Amino acid sequence: MTSKLEQLKRYTTVVADTGDLDAISRLQPVDATTNPSLLLKAATFPRYARMMAQIQQEFHGNPEAACEQFAVAVGKEILSHIPGRISTEVDARLSFDEQATYESALRLIDRYELLGIDRQRVLIKIAATWEGIQAARRLEKLNIQTNLTLLFSFAQAAACADAGVYLISPFVGRIYDWYKKSHNRDYTGFEDPGVQSVSRIYRYYKGNNYQTVVMGASFRNLGQIEALAGCDRLTISPELLEQLSNTQGPLERHLHTDNPPVERSFIDEQSFRWAHNEDAMATEKLAEGIRAFAHDQEKLEKLFR
């Protein structure tokens, strides 16, 4: 019998959530994603030491630009090991500034193109705030495709679809963490709130013929991944990819594209902010995620000072 990883690949595009080239080469995902936390970890890998030294010299005195260049340089290395696309993230400190997010995305694309990488192989990751979603709307019109991350509420997902973003990354594991802590109980399989959130978004998108790709992210265990088999994409850590690769047994597809029509939600700024505010989990986890990525961004910048 084939491994559960190979079975999953029949239903879902598998994405590696890492900057570790060895893991990417070994596990052979289609796409890969990075974020400030993963780049901070990648900065400790010996294989990137020379790259970091060159960037430090070239961008001496400008740690923000050095971090952008490092993110793009790591992305280029990863692209040489995968057939698909790399997601590279805008500075989380810009999450509430539409124009600054838009301009940062343009700089990232320019840096990729200067290295000979076509923009069609890059997704710009942006936090799914109202401002981030509007910046993504503008970028999509320039044929710069986006990955809206730190997505926890249905309001965020509905607004992203209305904006025509290419892809969203709902965070399964962080939703699970919040409910586990808040309700003082564990969740498994289809009762998992993170699994239920992604399943609802997937059905809403397919039922309304939205083209936005759903990519479940931030997994805590194999059960969450297996329950979302059939989702457009799943971005998975190397540790869980290894477990899937080493696990035998049948893997059933649970999400399908032939969903019945679902009532469409119109989301303007006022209704978005209210609906998101009403979701305590989403409000807390979005703020927490932005703070954590911003903190790691600052740590990364210190390495280039």
Contact 158, 279 (CB under 8 A): no
Whether 17 shows a pLDDT value over 90: the answer reads: no
Whether 145 shows a pLDDT value over 90: the answer reads: yes
Buried b (16+ CB within 10 A) or exposed e, 54-81: ebbeebeeebeebbbbbbbbbbbbbbeb
pLDDT (0 to 100) of residue 20: 82
- Band of the pLDDT at 263, cuts 50, 70, 90? confident
**Cα 175 to Cα 159: distance, rounded to the nearest angstrom:** 19
pLDDT (0 to 100) of residue 1: 67
Over range 227-247, report the average pLDDT. Answer: 95
Whether 210 shows a pLDDT value over 90: the answer reads: yes
pLDDT (0 to 100) of residue 22: 85
- DSSP assignment string, 63-126: HHHHHHHHHHHHHHHHHTT-SS-EEEEPPGGGTT-HHHHHHHHHHHHHHHHHTT--GGGEEEEE
pLDDT (0 to 100) of residue 165: 98
Which of 22, 29, 39, 46 has its CA nearest to residue 74?
A: 39
CA angle 132, 295, 213 (to 5 degrees): 35
Residues 74-116 have pLDDT tens digits of 999 999 999 999 999 999 999 999 999 999 999 999 999 999 9
Over range 58-80, report the average pLDDT. Answer: 94
Residues 274-287 have pLDDT tens digits of 999 999 999 999 99
**Cα 168 to Cα 177: distance, rounded to the nearest angstrom:** 20
Which position has the token pair 């807390």? 284
Contact 171, 163 (CB under 8 A): no
pLDDT (0 to 100) of residue 241: 93
Residues 117-142 have pLDDT tens digits of 999 999 999 999 999 999 999 999 99
From 4, 125, 206, 285, the catalytic residue: 125
Which of 69, 88, 66, 64 has its CA nearest to residue 78?
A: 88
Residue 234 β-bridge partners: 14, 216
Whether 255 shows a pLDDT value over 70: the answer reads: yes
pLDDT (0 to 100) of residue 202: 97
Ramachandran region, residue 156 (left: φ > 0; alpha: ψ -120 to 50; beta: rest): alpha
- Band of the pLDDT at 21, cuts 50, 70, 90? confident
Domains annotated for the chain, with CATH where assigned, are: 4-303 (3.20.20.70)
Distance from chain centroid for Cα 237: 12
- Band of the pLDDT at 264, cuts 50, 70, 90? confident
- Band of the pLDDT at 261, cuts 50, 70, 90? confident
**Cα 56 to Cα 283: distance, rounded to the nearest angstrom:** 37
285 in catalytic set: no
* Mean pLDDT, all residues of the chain: 95
